[in-house]
Structure 1
Amino acid sequence: MIAIVGGGPAGLFAAERLATAGHPVTVFERMPSVGRKLLMAGRGGLNLTHSEDFETFVGRYGDATSWLRPILESFPPAALIAWAESLGQSMFVGSSGRVFPKALKASPLLRAWLARLADLGVAVRTRHEWLGWADDGVLRFATPEGEIEVRPQATILALGGASWPRLGSDGAWVGPLRDAGAEIAPLRPANMGFDVAWSPVMQGFAGQPLKGIALTFAGRTVRGEAMITRYGLEGGALYALSAPIREAILAEGAATATIDLRPDQTRETLAARLARPRGAQSLANHLRKTLRLSPLEINLLREAHGRDLPTEAAALAAAIKAAPVRLTGMQGLERAISTAGGVALDSLDHRLMLKSRPGVFLAGEMLDWEAPTGGYLLQATFATGLAAANGAMAWARGD
């Protein structure tokens, strides 16, 4: 029997690969049900992958690109789309290039997937919390009936990172793996919101979006959206830059990003429109009528540049094109979409087997990689699940 510890996408996909090849498989999950984070992802439409060209796609993984490339080449976005469609889920490409099931939720896919796994003979044992290894190397689990031990032919650990711990992935595996000799980069939040010391006026806009903006930090600009929250800012534009912003805050205590509220218009175009006579109307009304700035955008400008905005057209246009926002902190792992850090590549061989404990393979967010939202997270989770399954099969047959 091959044991898979963790019932998320990486673990379940590894189970499918192994069972399809004829191996007996048991999935151990500490929660009462499997696939909980997948269902959470379904609340946002279940963005499975992205349709951009592969070179651009693989570059989204930053420092992990070189070692993830062959894994993603073995299971690229087209393969994930075909797999989802084999479960009866029609897929479509959104305007941003992101790929979703037409159902825009995860539950139909998960139901069909679990039915397939049951047909393949995969056993699922819920409420089994992995405790590590006994002295002789067997797996230890805490169950409602007491502690049990399991001695499999091979083991795949797919326990997730540490984000949204209430859904099951709490990072408790760090201790046992470190004791087993694995090098582990600290677990940190990724794709998370950031703190801003908003005035009470700006806090009153909590829950309202900034649409069609461009966010710039450290020389990199990302188009997208952001959401005002009482604590600060969150949303896709922030998530795409979350890694460098996080590192800057950890190093310096704060980071300043700039927001372009009208990225489709040049500063000169804005200045020409703002130069029109405004007569007796207030500056806020002038901005609303000439540029269609919303009350939120106008107050963001005042927050960024001071309550007394410049009235000269060129200076006002410059303010609209670059509104600085000081980010003073970040939301923690309990609210982050994903996790940075994890088991270092140097602790694994090319099959994702733990060098210090032969026969144990790792997959998913336990590994030290991160990526922005947009389908990259799930794609690499599935692909590393497949890679770990292939490694476990080779080990089980004596290779």
Structure 2
Amino acid sequence: DAVILALGGGSWSRLGSDGAWAPMLAEKGVDVAPLRPANCGFHADWSAHFQERYAGEPLKSVAACIRETASADIGANAPLRRGEIMLTRDGLEGGLAYALSSDLRQALDQTGEAVLAIDLLPDRDAAWVAGQVMHPRGAKSLSSHLRSRLNLHGAKAGLLRECLGRDDYADPARLAAAIKRLPVRLTGMRPMDEAISTAGGVRPRALDERLMLLALPGVFCAGEMLDWDAPTGGYLLTACFAGGRAAAKGALAWLN
């Protein structure tokens, strides 16, 4: 009389959530968007030295936003998200990357690359950073100068060297600007089976207000089957639980 489908997305195939339902529903006339990775890691072309030295290192207390290209101009007031990023051998992942994954995926689809602008010192304004970078350093090396004046060292300093050309690194003004908006070029997404969740699924227009499929009266859908880009963590779980309750209420209303 009524069926509720809560079959998950496609990112946990080892536990059965493999998205095999998608073509089955599509064959029955249900409008289904292709499943894509969400809340996942991204590829970057790190040098061998950077991979060996910094893979597995976290970038703590940073902020980031999306920029169109590595050369695009981003103002100091561009909106930023704060969080942490984990550097990996193939690129990066972590809460901040997950939060921006939808926009990064869209940029990759449109241009084949995405550029993440990272503020390495979000608690300091650009003027302060520029002043510290340009402070006379005497006989100190530039890396020692950045460590002593800005407390910039470890993975943050390594990423700065990795992503900034030699000429820009040697230019104090350009170096200071990069500390506040370091362009990190991303070339792709990690495989869907490594993602925390997936985008895509049953499109909203394929459902009525009770979460019943218009093409299959009496069949309801809930959870990650629906086409929505959920933030990770408790938000994703809470929304899936709430969607399950809504689908159950819809099924009861249908039966009555």
| TM-score, structure 2 as length reference | 0.91
| 1: CA distance, partners of 2:130 / 2:27 | 62
- Match for residue 245 of structure 2 among 373, 379, 386: 386
Deviation track 1:39-67 (CA, whole Å, cap 9, x = no partner) reads xxxxxxxxxxxxxxxxxxxxxxxxxxxxx
> Within 1, Cα distance between the matches of 2:216 and 2:118?
48
Cα distance in 1, alignment partners of residues 178 and 186 from structure 2:
18
| SS of 1:310 mapped into structure 2 | helix
- Aligned partners of 1:385 and 1:190: how far apart in 2? 21
2:62 paired with 1:213: yes
Aligned counterparts of 2:10 and 2:114: Cα–Cα separation in 1 = 24
- Structure 2 partner of 1:263: 122
| Aligned equivalent of 1:331 | 190
Kept in 2: contact 1:267–1:314 (CA 8 A): no
Q: Is the 8 A contact 2:163 2:182 kept in 1?
A: yes
How much does 1:223 deviate?
0.8
Secondary structure, aligned partner of 2:194 = coil
Q: Please state whether the residue corresponding to 2:176 is helix, strand or coil.
A: helix
- Percentage of pairs with the same residue: 56
Deviations 1:78-134 (A, max 9, x none): xxxxxxxxxxxxxxxxxxxxxxxxxxxxxxxxxxxxxxxxxxxxxxxxxxxxxxxxx
Matched, 1:296 2:155: yes
Residue number in structure 2 paired with 1:245: 104
Q: C-alpha separation between the residues in 2 aligned to 1:212 and 1:196?
A: 21
Following superposition, the deviation at residue 324 of structure 1 comes to 0.8
Task: Report matched runs for 1:5-16 at 5 Å.
Answer: none
Work out whether 1:163 is the aligned partner of 2:11: yes
Q: CA RMSD in A?
A: 1.5
> Unpaired segments of 5 or more residues in structure 2?
68-77
Q: Is the 8 A contact 1:272 1:313 kept in 2?
A: no
State the distance in 2 between where 1:345 and 1:370 align. 12
User: Structure 1 CA distance, aligned partners of 2:21 and 2:171?
Assistant: 59
SS in 2 for 1:227: strand
Is the aligned partner of 1:229 residue 2:77? no
- Greater RCO, CA 8 A, separation 6+: 2
Quote the Cα distance in structure 2 between the aligned partners of 1:388 and 1:208. Answer: 42
Name the CA shift for 1:317/1:183 in 2 (closer, same or farther; >3 Å): same
SS in 2 for 1:352: coil
Aligned amino acid, residue 336 of structure 1 = A
Whether 2:132 is the aligned partner of 1:273: answer yes
Alignment correspondent of 1:317: 176
Corresponding residue for residue 177 of structure 1:
25
The letter of the residue matching 1:189 is P
- Residue deviations 1:129-172, cap 9 Å, x none? xxxxxxxxxxxxxxxxxxxxxxxx31100000001211221000
Give the secondary-structure state (helix, strand or coil) at the position aligned to 1:161: coil
Instruction: Give how far 1:200 is off.
Output: 1.1
Q: How does 1:338-357 map to 2 (within 5 A)?
A: 338-357=197-216
- Give the counterpart letter for 1:161 in structure 2: G
Match of 2:218 in 1: 359
| Within-5 A mapping of 1:21-170 | 153-170=1-18
Distance 1:186 1:220, change over 3 A: farther
Q: What residue is the counterpart of 2:75 in the other structure?
A: none
Q: Is the 8 A contact 1:161 1:365 kept in 2?
A: yes
Q: Contact (CA 8 Å) 2:118, 2:182: kept in 1 or not?
A: yes
Please list the CA deviations of residues 310-356 of structure 1 after superposition, one character each: whole Å capped at 9, or x if unmatched. Answer: 34543321121111111101112101111101011121111111122
Q: Secondary structure at the match of 2:201?
A: strand
1:191 aligns with 2:50: no
Count matched residues: 245
Determine the C-alpha separation between the residues in 1 that align with 2:79 and 2:193: 27
Which of 224, 231, 234 is matched with 1:372 structurally?
Answer: 231
Instruction: Name the TM-score, length of structure 1 as normaliser.
Output: 0.59
d(CA) in 2 for partners of 1:316 and 1:331? 30
Point out where structure 1 has 5 or more consecutive residues left out of the alignment: 1-152
